[in-house]
Amino acid sequence: MKRFHAFGLVVLLALLALPSAEAQQELGKVSVVVQDEAGKPVPNATVQCVNWDNSFPRTEPLTPREQSTSDDGGRASFDGVTLGQAFVRVISGDLGGWFRVQERKPDFPLVIGVGHSTQVIVRDESGQPVEDVLASADGCIPFGKTDKDGVVTVRNHGIGYTPELYFWKAGYAWESVNLPFNPEKVFVTLKPGVVLEGLVLGPDGQPVPDVDISWNSQRSVRSDAKGAFRFPESAIGSKATLYAGAWNRQPPLNGEVTVTLTAPPMEKVTIAMNLAPTAPEQRRGATIRGRVLNADTDKPVRATILLEHSPAFEWPKKEAVTDETGQFTIEHVEGDRVWLCASAAQPTLYTVGGLVEVDLAKNTAADVTIRMSEGCALRGRVLTAEGTPVPSVQVMFRPMGPYYRAIWTSPEGRFEIPGLDGVGLSYSLSVSDPLQRETTLEVGPMAKGDIRSELELRMPKAVQPATLRGAVVDADGKPMANVNLYFHFQGPPAEPSVLSASSDDLGAFSVPIARSGRVNTSAHKVIQTTPSQHDSIDCPVAEGGVFELTEGINQEVRIVVHTATRRLIECGVVDESGQTVRAEVHILHGQHSDDYVSRDGEGIYRSTQIPKEAYVLEVTAPQYQARILFPGTDFQEDGTKTVVTLKKGPFAYGVSVWEAVTGRPATKEAVASTPLAELIRKRELQYFRAALAKPVVSSVPDGRSVVTPSLPAISKVRVVDAKGKAITRILVESLYVDQKKAALLPPESGAVQPITASDGLYPVPLGSSPGCIVSAPGFARVPLELLPSSPDGVQTLVLEESTTLELTVKRVDGKPAAGIPVSLPQAAWYGLDNTMSAMLMRTDAQGLARFTDIAPGPRIFSVGEFKTDMQAIMPVLKPGEARKVTVQLEERQRSHNPLVLLQIWREAERPQPKYPSQKDDVWEAEIRALPKDSQAALIKTVQESLPILTIPRPETRDPALLLGVASALGNRAVAKDLEGIFLQLPDDATGIPLLSNSRASQVATVITELQGDASVPFFEKCAQDDKRGPNSRLAALLAFGQLHSGKSAEAFARLRDAAYGKPGAPAKKETYTHAERMAESAIMTLCVIPGLSGVAGSGMPTNATVNEDYATGTLWMNNVEIQLCRVGAEWLVSEAHQGPVP
Amino acid sequence: MRGLWYSAVVVAFAGILCAPPCAADYREETLVPPIGWEKQVSPGFEPPVEYTVVYAGAGLEPSLTIKDCAPKWGPDAVRVLIELYRNPEWAGFQERILSGIVLFSTPEVKTFLEEEYAQELKKTDAKKPAQLMVFLSLMRKIDPDRAKQWVDEGLKDSTGPHFQTFVFDLRDRAFQTHNPDVQAQLTQVLNSLPEGELRKALLASIEAMMANQRTEQRTNEPMRVILEKEKGISR
């Protein structure tokens, strides 16, 4: 939408490069001649003419000076127009057009036609139509206002020019939309907006008139005579940097201010201007200094430095040339981030890694190193079939390399493609003529330093193309507008393989016949649903589907297409009171074919991926009765929005689930005539189950069932900062991919949707997909995992101050390691599979990988290649921190680097130590064999990495690895650190003990292995601390059993004796059998002491065994297997595991 | 050998009784009751018998399990369950229905068992010997003499998987009841078995069960016994 598109950039750069843009503007008279397609003058046509300027939408209607009527000779003229910048619209009945008049010659011919019409539907954020929105072409020629349905139509586009459409209404942020593919309809959403007004003041505090003020270095306005300026409405919450520069003044002035737009009324902004450097070229920005080195020889390289503000590198600028030492300096670079590339005098050198990204956040970037390496180059010329050089034709080449490069022939028809990195590859060169006929040339394989010269590409023999004309009509013969036609050539591949055309408002089209052949016709219509998304709708071709084209012969064809083929499902889901329900909608079209239908930010489920075979729509929501909808009866595929009402569950006794769900009678005949009936019938059970207000039933070891009353499903998410303060504006990125990965990477362009809530309570779903990432300016991006329910239906999400992690990866020789994969933790255990799904990014040419806006806390990143040079780093990031970490890649042999050792142990895939011990004898032996300083380094690394044990679900075995190594280290300091970690471990919120497999229990085990009986006081204190959760208290009690000592038995006896009389505790007995004592210990350990109340103390069924030596025993209680060990008269629980689900 | 029988303790046999419903749960997703069954539920039962059969054991409210509902229904439910058991449209739910029938001990159930047992014995392939064992166990609950008669006849007349079922039933009863007659009968059967897989398996299982019972015996020993013994050793 308000993207600063490439053309705008060119214009802006041109303006900035000049001493004064105004000085270049020459006002004069623009005269045009309106003609029809036959070249005949068109009199009495309405002609409108303005100065072209697409900075902002026009808010005023056209003035009389901007309007005229063509005379008998089709002429119209306008005075006071900026020459070369005129923008003209012509209307003559159904004919018309839009024309950029950039030439200065008089009587500029404007050939009008029918062109295309597109209907624009403007709505507000709640989906309501917005009336009286002023629509303008390129923001400067108004063409209408929206009606009460929010509809306005732009006509005749594609004749002359297809403008961008701008929409403005007071109180709303302005919007714009492009019209690719001649869409039939376009949907525009206007958000609440606010005008930004301000004043420019000079160093003396006086207003400064006639100053250009730019908005985020993009669009600009000019201050008036009183120094005041005004930007039209922009979205509330958006951030703008306003920059004012007055370079034509003596002395020059400039100033800058950054503002966040708030709800109206908004305070006026003041830009204080100060003395600026004397030349506009030196006005501001960062300085980049660096050098270009030959990566093979480390010698400096003479090269030109190209700079772009985007990694797409579409519009690079030559910014600097290196000196003899390879050094270069680029000053006054604007923006936060730029990309550099070197073009060496020696054509075979290429930039390693393609582009070098430079972060300008600190307003300077020193020591940028661009490395170039020996590659290859191609040179040649393009000739006509007769051998004449062809200038200004684009030469395409494949493989293209890391970024797009446009190569054009010189006036002599010559071209050069330097700096290719495809050593060992073959290149395919191609050129196309205006009819898209292609000539290709294969070159290669290329050797290092190879320059292939004198390559010749001969264009196809020139032909005077014949034209295919025709009309697109529906089955009733009615012309169909905006149908995109594709004529696909049958037979062996040749270029062009397809011809394309689009029908105008009268259904007519024409296309040059580029070659002979039999063609298949396909037809599509386009409806743009959002500025970045469009739906292509198939129009089956009933006539004109296959025919012959012959070069050189004009032809006509009539294409008959079916109209009712727009297949779009749209539905909303509500409950019986009309409240929106968070549902899941699936398209079922086979036993195992189940397509998820995504939901947009407005709660509409929409799909164009509609199967051709029989299908049904399944709508389900927890605690609601599901619905199955049938196309054609329950909903239409034409985009008509269907509102699905779900009844609250459960299904009452006597109600057929089939009937309730499908709306069809519960008879064999109805089932037989229902598509996918077998599938639906099999799903009846889950529909019944899902509709229940299901209580949470959990088992605890003593046989009780803990029945939690049914809790309301999450309906809102409370988003707060670390201090609990509500965050009133959040950014939501809907996801269909791994949330953990997405939370570490920048959001995809256009995927982030801002949402505001004055109380910080946001209704769910936040995004259009099951998963989403939530963030806010200055806060980290956090995956939102919705809980099923909570006591008040609200889930709290805490956003923490964001952190930045910059990894510098160095090669063995200490030089930057470019292209090194940085991956999710699992890559350190399993490597990267074919899909590379675990890879986050590769290091750039400087060996850097940068992660921004990530959440603080312990993190694991895998760096390098699995089984080669991989290391996993485990930094603990603090809120707001910008952490820099250097990873030194190493030869593995004889390395004592702790990170390398840990990785070798990861890759060794050693069997797990014998449970419950975490100790591994092999590690212990290897650690003992290390020199003392290496052991110390390993201890330090392990200590620093221990916080990863607090990550709830790290999805790797790193916690086990760390615990195993910690145990093998035998170091008391590590044990003390582990005690600290034990106290920080998150506890299970449900109150159901996680038994021996909990992280707390694993940590406790290692503490016992390192400390022995010295850990008894620590665990006794933890076990009796009723402020701690049951999980860690249980782990502390299990530690007594693992210690299996007199001291631990005494500690347990003290705790046990103190617990008699507590709710659920068994009564103390005078004498015990082993089974009785074991059962008592189990209940005390697993339930009573950790604080699970209400335990029935007797009469529970148990099954116990005692081994022959009376030292160990096993007890089964309600499917929990409990291992015990005896110390004198005490049976201590050492392990407890949930048995298999029966 | 005989002495070992006297030291035998009870071995849980509930596993076999539980097997049908548990096994059925895993296949629940593929079970489809007849269309419109909800509208044809047998009146007079709350919750309806058919609902508990369809949704039992599926992690729903506890009140929907057959075991919990049976006392509320009373013996009238037997007729409904038997009808469902024999209704081909409910064939997929047979095991689950049977787990409901075995909760009752009525003459109607006895007759049902007699009939189903007779049908089961006629099946020569006998792919589900556990089914025979279920019928046996249930009959033992209602009429132990009749069950004994079934076993005696079975040990005498049956072959193959049916015979094995009767042998293992005898073994289990020997461990459960400590009855010298049953143990003698098992010894006799064991002695009469020719060398082969069945004899080997039977012996191995008897040894395992005896080891188990020795282990479990220790658990019921007063703790003071081992403590005094250990004190004695330390002296």
Q: Domain with A275 in it: what CATH number?
A: 2.60.40.1120
In a domain? residue A1065: no
**A807 and A942 both lie in a single domain:** yes
Residue B223's pLDDT is what? Answer: 93
The answer to ipTM > 0.90 is no
**A470 and A553 both lie in a single domain:** yes
For residue A388, how many other CB atoms are within 10 A of its CB?
11
Distance CA(A477)–CA(A488), nearest Å, equals: 24
pLDDT tens, A89-144? Answer: 999 998 999 998 887 788 889 999 988 889 899 988 777 889 999 999 999 999 99
* 3-class secondary-structure state, position A249: coil
Nearest CA to A307 out of A321, A295, A323, A325 is that of A321
In a domain? residue B33: no
Q: Please report residues of A whose CB lies closer than 8 A to that of B59.
A: 689, 697
Most B CBs within 10 A among A684, A1125, A1141, hence the mutation to make, goes to A684
**A348 and A410 both lie in a single domain:** no
| C-alpha A27, offset from chain centre | 46
* Element holding A533 (H helix, E strand): strand A533-538
Is A667 close to B61, i.e. CB distance below 8 A? no
Beta bridge partners of A407: A395
Strands ordered across the beta sheet of A882-888: A848-854, A803-810, A882-888
User: Strands A27-35 and A108-111: what pairing?
Assistant: parallel
In a domain? residue B71: no
In a domain? residue B63: no
Distance CA(B163)–CA(B155), nearest Å, equals: 6
Nearest CA to A926 out of A945, A899, A902 is that of A902
pLDDT tens, A950-986? Answer: 887 777 888 888 888 898 888 889 999 999 999 888 7
* 3-class secondary-structure state, position A832: coil
Q: Please report residues of B whose CB lies closer than 8 A to that of A656.
A: 35-39
Decide which of A1130 and A127 is more confident. A1130
Tell me the Cα Rg of chain B.
22
Domain that holds residue B223: 1-14+125-235
**A835 and A912 both lie in a single domain:** yes
Nearest CA to A183 out of A483, A541, A472 is that of A483
Distance in Å from the first CA to the final CA of chain B? 37
Q: Please report residues of B whose CB lies closer than 8 A to that of A1078.
A: 219
What sign results for the dihedral spanned by CA atoms B36, B42, B44, B45?
A: negative
Residue A696 near chain B (CB below 8 Å): no
Distance CA(A510)–CA(A556), nearest Å, equals: 9
Residue B61's pLDDT is what? Answer: 55
In a domain? residue B22: no
User: Strands A857-858 and A337-344: what pairing?
Assistant: unpaired
> Side chain identity at A615, as an amino acid letter?
Y
pLDDT tens, A593-649? Answer: 677 787 766 678 888 778 878 899 999 988 899 999 999 889 988 777 889 999 998
Give me the number of domains chain B comprises.
1
Neighbour-count burial of A444, counting CB atoms closer than 10 A to its CB (0-12 exposed, 13-18 middle, 19+ buried) = middle
Domain that holds residue A623: 568-664
In a domain? residue B64: no
The shortest C-alpha distance from A591 to chain B (Å) reads: 12
Most B CBs within 10 A among A662, A668, A685, hence the mutation to make, goes to A685
Contacts of A364 (CB under 8 A, 6+ apart): A286, A287, A288
Neighbour-count burial of A300, counting CB atoms closer than 10 A to its CB (0-12 exposed, 13-18 middle, 19+ buried) = middle
Residue A279 has pLDDT above 60, yes or no: no
Boundary residue ending a domain (A778, A800, A822): A800
In a domain? residue A578: yes
The shortest C-alpha distance from A1047 to chain B (Å) reads: 18
Nearest CA to A178 out of A189, A170, A166 is that of A166
**A332 and A432 both lie in a single domain:** no
In a domain? residue A1017: no
Boundary residue ending a domain (A970, A997, A1020): A970
**A742 and A792 both lie in a single domain:** yes
pLDDT band for A708, please (50, 70, 90 cuts). very low
Q: Backbone phi, then psi, for A535, in 5-degree steps?
A: -105, 130
**A277 and A300 both lie in a single domain:** no
Residue A41 has pLDDT above 90, yes or no: yes
Distance CA(A180)–CA(A799), nearest Å, equals: 39
Residue A1097 has pLDDT above 50, yes or no: no
A237 Ramachandran zone, left/alpha/beta (phi>0; psi -120 to 50)? left
Give B84-121 as a DSSP string.
HHH-GGGGGGHHHHHHHHTT---HHHHHHHHHHHHHHH
Work out the angle at residue A268's Cα, subtended by the Cα atoms of residues A266 and A269, and round it to the nearest 5 degrees: 120
Boundary residue ending a domain (A947, A970, A993): A970
CA of B185: how far to CAs of A461, B135, B136, B190, B191, in Å?
Answer: 105, 21, 17, 9, 10
Q: Domain with A763 in it: what CATH number?
A: 2.60.40
Rounded average pLDDT over A19-45: 78
Distance CA(A559)–CA(A740), nearest Å, equals: 51
Distance CA(A79)–CA(A491), nearest Å, equals: 57
Distance CA(A182)–CA(A696), nearest Å, equals: 54
Neighbour-count burial of B22, counting CB atoms closer than 10 A to its CB (0-12 exposed, 13-18 middle, 19+ buried) = middle
Residue A668 near chain B (CB below 8 Å): yes
Distance CA(A602)–CA(A618), nearest Å, equals: 20
**A52 and A150 both lie in a single domain:** yes
The shortest C-alpha distance from A574 to chain B (Å) reads: 26
What sign results for the dihedral spanned by CA atoms A103, A107, A112, A116?
A: positive
* 3-class secondary-structure state, position A321: strand
Beta bridge partners of A755: A730
In a domain? residue B215: yes
Residue A664 near chain B (CB below 8 Å): no
In a domain? residue A410: yes
Asked if residues A537 and A525 have their Cβ atoms less than 8 Å apart, the reply is yes
In a domain? residue A711: no
Q: Residues 191 to 230 of B: which have CB under 8 A from any A CB? A: 212, 215-216, 218-224, 226-227
Nearest CA to A420 out of A357, A502, A346, A511 is that of A346
The shortest C-alpha distance from A737 to chain B (Å) reads: 29
Question: Peptide bond preceding A399: is omega within 30 degrees of 0, i.e. cis?
Answer: yes
Asked if residues A539 and A559 have their Cβ atoms less than 8 Å apart, the reply is no
Is A658 close to B35, i.e. CB distance below 8 A? yes
In a domain? residue B73: no
Residue A1141 has pLDDT above 50, yes or no: no
**A10 and A125 both lie in a single domain:** yes
In a domain? residue A745: yes
Asked if residues A158 and A152 have their Cβ atoms less than 8 Å apart, the reply is no
pLDDT tens, A301-310? Answer: 888 888 887 7
* 3-class secondary-structure state, position B182: helix
Distance CA(B103)–CA(B75), nearest Å, equals: 9
Q: Which residue of A has its CA nearest to B45?
A: A653
B54 Ramachandran zone, left/alpha/beta (phi>0; psi -120 to 50)? alpha
Distance CA(A578)–CA(A644), nearest Å, equals: 10
pLDDT tens, A854-876? Answer: 999 999 999 998 888 899 999 99
Nearest CA to A215 out of A256, A166, A246, A264 is that of A256
Beta bridge partners of A1039: none
Rounded average pLDDT over A466-486: 89
**A92 and A114 both lie in a single domain:** yes
In a domain? residue B129: yes
Q: Please report residues of A whose CB lies closer than 8 A to that of B61.
A: 692, 694-695
Tell me the Cα Rg of chain A.
36
Q: Which residue of A has its CA nearest to B21?
A: A1142
Rounded average pLDDT over A1041-1065: 93
pLDDT band for B142, please (50, 70, 90 cuts). confident
Distance CA(A589)–CA(A572), nearest Å, equals: 21
For residue A859, how many other CB atoms are within 10 A of its CB?
22
Dihedral angle computed from the Cα positions of residues B90, B92, B98 and B100, in that order, rounded to the nearest 10 degrees: -70
Residue A698 near chain B (CB below 8 Å): no
- Residue A592: DSSP 8-state: T
**A874 and A748 both lie in a single domain:** no
pLDDT tens, A746-789? Answer: 876 556 677 788 888 888 777 655 568 888 888 998 888 777 67
pLDDT tens, A558-593? Answer: 999 886 556 778 889 998 988 888 888 999 987 666
CA of A142: how far to CAs of A33, A113, A114, A134, A620, in Å?
Answer: 22, 20, 19, 7, 47
**A163 and A206 both lie in a single domain:** no
Distance CA(B11)–CA(B21), nearest Å, equals: 21
| Averaged confidence pLDDT in chain A | 83
Classify each residue of A795-805 as buried b or exposed e, where b means 16 or more C-beta atoms within 10 Å of its C-beta.
bebebbebbbb
Beta bridge partners of B82: none
In a domain? residue A180: yes
Give me the number of domains chain A comprises.
8
Is A654 close to B39, i.e. CB distance below 8 A? yes
In a domain? residue A1005: no
Classify each residue of A499-525 as buried b or exposed e, where b means 16 or more C-beta atoms within 10 Å of its C-beta.
bebbbbbbbbbebebbbebebebbbbb
Is A692 close to B39, i.e. CB distance below 8 A? no
Location of structure tokens 């070659």: A515
Residue A990's pLDDT is what? Answer: 42
- Residue A181: DSSP 8-state: T
User: Strands A761-763 and A771-775: what pairing?
Assistant: unpaired
Residue A495 has pLDDT above 90, yes or no: no
Residue A680 has pLDDT above 80, yes or no: yes
Most B CBs within 10 A among A1110, A1117, A1124, A1126, hence the mutation to make, goes to A1110
